[in-house]
Amino acid sequence: MLPLELIRKDPDRVRRAAELKGEPAPIDEILKLDKEWREHLHKAETIKEEQNKLSREFAKTRDEALKDRLRQMADVAKQEMAQAEAVKRELDDLLLRVPNLFHESVPIGMTEADNVVVREWGGKPELGFTARTHYDLGEALGIMDFERAARVSGSRFAFLVGDGARLERALAQFMLDVHTREHGYKEVMPPALVNSASLVGTANLPKFGADLYKVEGQDLWLIPTAEVPLTNFHREEILDGHVLPLKYVAYSHCFRSEAGAAGKDTRGFIRLHHFSKVELVKVTTPEQSMEEFEQLLADAETILQRLGLHYQVMLMCTGDMGFAQYKKYDLNVWCPGLDRYLEISSCSVFNDFQAMRANIRYRPAPGAPPKFTHTINGSGVAMRVIDPLLETYQRSDGMVTVPDVLKPYMGGIELIGAR
RNA sequence: GGGGAGGUGGCUGAGCGGCCGAAAGCACCCGCCUGCUAAGCGGGUAGGGGGUGUAAAGCUCCCUCGAGGGUUCGAAUCCCUCCCUUCCCGCCA
């Protein structure tokens, strides 16, 4: 969330940023409630001060008349405080609904048409035959099963079977190895269920609860991404400045209701209710965050490069970047069969927006007052990289070559579909 | 799930209803002393919020001893509910 102080001082800046993001921001209401809150608080505190003084006096004098007066003061103070708290609760809830500002390098725009391709790697592969989609290939090879998944679970679910399942395991292993051994991330196996405070911390709540699966009757939710448990790993902590930046990587399953996506991407291994990915999260100082963000993006790109997949780096415009992000890149990988780019990773920097919500702080130097950290995350990468992978490495006979970097993880298999 | 013990500052750990935002130790910071290192001496260091201040500093007040309620003029301390940790038993991959 944004500091209340900033909204007080420069409401127009916040309002403008929200508008450019296409997000409503209840600024006027916040300013009004802020004033009300402080009035009640001030009144309560003034009475409290007097009451505390007189109460100390009473301890000495035991004057019964004073006791009556004190009782009345306590009542009034309690009332004022209760009102202040009620207003503050309303205020806090509104504050959680104000979108983040954005970095000056973010292009202004409302739709994805205003996003900017900042670079490309590789080129579209020349297959020399008509490319098939990953779901055609996957079903024909018996490594993807959507029909049975629909029966067992419903639409937007998939089975990976045989070498398909093996491929997912190989990819996870490969990515984790690269990030832990070469990029310095610490591997984490996080819980897949988290409480609502954690979801507020990463800004999934209170606004986006409809996108999440909730456990009935309990304060537990299925994670939509490992970003949630990883970022909240240090919630309510004050870290030593010298441990920053902290870098975590987790392979996890992710669950999304896809409430707003009716009819979109219903075919294939694309927009599932349950999928998995490798997630990168960094906790940094404000000074480090933009550089660490670019590095995290590069770390994700490494994976795609080693897999030999053509991709572009897309800088998201204000209207397409989301509520909480300060700056965001998507990595879009070319899928010859689908004949389009598919988002395989999304990397974002949040400034202190999440850290304020999750109350993640650090002490810049011994004895110095704590400051909010910055947080960064990105997929490194999503397991649906399987789609461009199958489509890129397919052969005219319908079999799929295993990319070199995955061979050590595939138990000697070089060709999916052979025999 | 049943029973016991416990949650206090960056950490360890004391705490009588008012003299407690809190002893002591560790750690850290500043200074002094000592020809290195170590030791010694003195001082300092919780978080959040309001007001004042152009701002930093400062001053001042309020709140916070797991969370939320209650009793009381006054609660870390007494009562209730919840959460978490830990031990024993049960169940379990």
pLDDT recorded at residue A206 = 87
Q: Is residue A256 flagged as an active site residue?
A: yes
Round to whole Å and give the CA distance between A382 and A343. Answer: 9
Sign, Cα dihedral of A65, A66, A69, A75: negative
pLDDT recorded at residue A310 = 98
Output A260 or A356, whichever has higher pLDDT: A356
* pLDDT at residue A366 is higher than 80: no
Q: Which of A332, A259, A271, A251 is nearest to A146 (CA)?
A: A271
Round to whole Å and give the CA distance between A109 and A20. Answer: 7
* Cα pseudo-dihedral A404, A406, A408, A411, rounded to 10: -120
Output the average pLDDT for chain A: 92
User: In strand B, which positions have an atom below 7 A from any protein CB?
Assistant: 10, 18, 28-29, 44-45, 47-51, 61-63, 72-74
pLDDT recorded at residue A352 = 92
Q: Is residue A97 flagged as an active site residue?
A: no
> What does DSSP assign to residue A245?
S
A238 CB neighbour count, 10 Å cutoff: 15
> What does DSSP assign to residue A318?
G
Output A40 or A392, whichever has higher pLDDT: A392
* pLDDT at residue A72 is higher than 80: yes
Percent of chain A past pLDDT 70, that is, above it, reads: 100
Tell me the pLDDT tens digit for each residue of A219-274: 889 999 999 999 998 888 888 888 889 999 999 999 999 887 877 888 999 999 99
Joined together, the tokens standing for residue A224 give 């939509």
* Sequence-separated (6 or more) residues with CB below 8 Å from residue A380: A175, A179, A249, A278, A279, A280, A296, A299, A300, A303, A345
Instruction: For residue A94, report the phi and psi dihedrals to the nearest 5 degrees.
Output: -65, -40
Range A312-329 average pLDDT: 96
Output A99 or A369, whichever has higher pLDDT: A99
pLDDT recorded at residue A58 = 87
Q: Is residue A151 flagged as an active site residue?
A: no
The residue from A289, A361, A384, A391 that is catalytic is A384
pLDDT recorded at residue A365 = 78
Joined together, the tokens standing for residue A280 give 């990168």
pLDDT recorded at residue A73 = 87
The residue from A166, A235, A256, A357 that is catalytic is A256
Q: How far is the CA of A238 from the C1' of B83 (A)?
A: 22
- Least reliable range by pLDDT among A127-136, A259-268, A378-387: A259-268
Tell me the pLDDT tens digit for each residue of A262-286: 778 889 999 999 999 999 999 999 9
Ramachandran category for residue A217: left, alpha or beta (phi over 0 → left; psi -120 to 50 → alpha) = left
* Nucleotide showing the shortest C1' distance to residue A58 CA: B73
Q: How far is the CA of A42 from the C1' of B51 (A)?
A: 8
The residue from A289, A345, A346, A379 that is catalytic is A346
Q: Which domains does chain A have, with CATH numbers?
A: 4-95 (1.10.287.40), 112-416 (3.30.930.10)
* Sequence-separated (6 or more) residues with CB below 8 Å from residue A205: A96, A196, A199, A212
